Amino acid sequence: MTDPVALTADLIRCPSVTPEEGGALSLLEARLSAAGFACTRVDRNGIANLFARWGEKGHARSFGFNGHTDVVPVGARADWRFDPFGAQVEGDWMYGRGAVDMKSAVAAFAAAAMDFVADTPPDGAVILAITGDEEGDAKDGTVALLDWMAAQGEAMDVCLVGEPTCPDEMGEMMKIGRRGSMTFFFEALGVQGHSAYPHRAKNPVPALAKLVDRLAGLELDTGTDHFDPSTLAVTTFDTGNPANNVIPAACRATVNIRFNDAHSSESLTAMIRGIAAEVAAETGIEITDRVSVSGESFITPPGRLSDLVAAAVEAETGRVPVLSTSGGTSDARFVQHHCPVVEFGLVGKSMHQVDERVAIAQIPQLKAIYTRILRDYFA
């Protein structure tokens, strides 16, 4: 049997801070190849990705796992109790960057897949699509894998993403969708001048302040069947002006929106730009914007896939997971264009924190859940 705890430790010891591969995907490629998986590196623009398939290409039934081995920076190493890439064990915990997000889950589904196909070879294909670019720009990670799969005629019928999904207890939550995310970068343009002679200048600060205040007061919606209300947050407001007697020529602000399925990025862009145009007309200040869309909201309706995962989780943990769409974005936002997708993984309390750590007992438990999902899917 493949030990997912040992594999987790091996992966943590790979310093795979985005965009560095750090040896993590090479390690997985070697292990999966030895287990009979056909492995292909799908690297793009310096980003490492791995596609692994057991079974025939284009089989009528295929179950996919998606995950990432890249991790966020460790910050100040002096703040860590142990080497962030040491996989140090203390008591019931294993410490290291990526322990929760999400090298344990990658180890768990890789171990589950390798043992499953060896013990009970299924009538179908098992696919692992693992990226090194989830924590970065995410333009050449799972997107590159899906582009390559489309070009090669590879396909997953359904997919499970192993992101940490449980707030406090193992098994309490799974994700069946995610909110969309978009960011507006505003710039208000005026005329610089002396603060003692404001009539000779054109101050962009009050205009932009009026805009962000108006946006901050918006109620975008009251929620939908599967989503909480959409949110809008003003995250920066800057003039870059070090002088107290100079009216600046420009002012900038950033606004982030997390939106549900009552909206699209296009509808929100039209709405926000309309409000900005109103403020510009009222103040006589030119306001421009740049929009960045991280992903649209999506939902995999409750049904066969979510039932399959929920049944396995309940069997192994005794808990029926809540079907949630909370949290930030994940690579499921890309997979949902390819096939139905849900997410289930570990308790995520310490992800991205100093002294990130995983409860060791949860790793084989997660492997058991993934194994049961595979067994029930191919039954």
Q: What is the pLDDT of residues 320-370, one digit of tens each?
A: 999 999 988 899 999 999 999 999 999 999 999 999 999 999 999 999 999
Residues of the chain scoring pLDDT < 50? none
Is 221 assigned a catalytic role?
no
Domain ranges of the chain: 4-178+297-377, 180-295
The CA-based dihedral angle spanning residues 96, 98, 259, 140, taken in that order and rounded to the nearest 10 degrees: 150
What is the C-alpha separation between 263 and 269, in angstroms, rounded? 10
In CATH, the number for domain 4-178+297-377 is: 3.40.630.10
pLDDT for res 328: 85
3-class DSSP state of 119:
helix
Shared fold status for 4-178+297-377 and 180-295: no
Query: In angstroms, what CA-CA distances link 97 with 89, 112, 257, 343?
Result: 13, 22, 28, 21
Task: Please name the amino acid found at residue 229.
Answer: P
pLDDT for res 116: 98
The catalytically annotated residue of 29, 134, 163, 316 is 134
Q: How far apart are the first and last CA of the chain?
A: 21
The domain defined by 180-295 folds into Alpha-Beta Plaits (3.30.70)
pLDDT for res 58: 81
User: 334 phi and psi, to 5 degrees?
Assistant: -90, -40
Question: Among 58, 145, 70, which Cα is nearest to 103's?
Answer: 70
pLDDT for res 59: 84
Question: Among 367, 252, 249, which Cα is nearest to 1's?
Answer: 367
pLDDT for res 263: 97
3-class DSSP state of 69:
coil
User: Which tokens sit at 335?
Assistant: 């997979």
User: Which tokens sit at 94?
Assistant: 């294993």
The catalytically annotated residue of 10, 70, 316, 331 is 70
Model pTM?
0.91
Contacts of 262 (CB under 8 A, 6+ apart): 220, 221, 224, 227, 230
Contact, 295 vs 178, CB < 8 A?
Answer: yes
Is 70 assigned a catalytic role?
yes
pLDDT for res 327: 86
Contact, 275 vs 216, CB < 8 A?
Answer: no
* Tokens 């058991």, residue located: 368
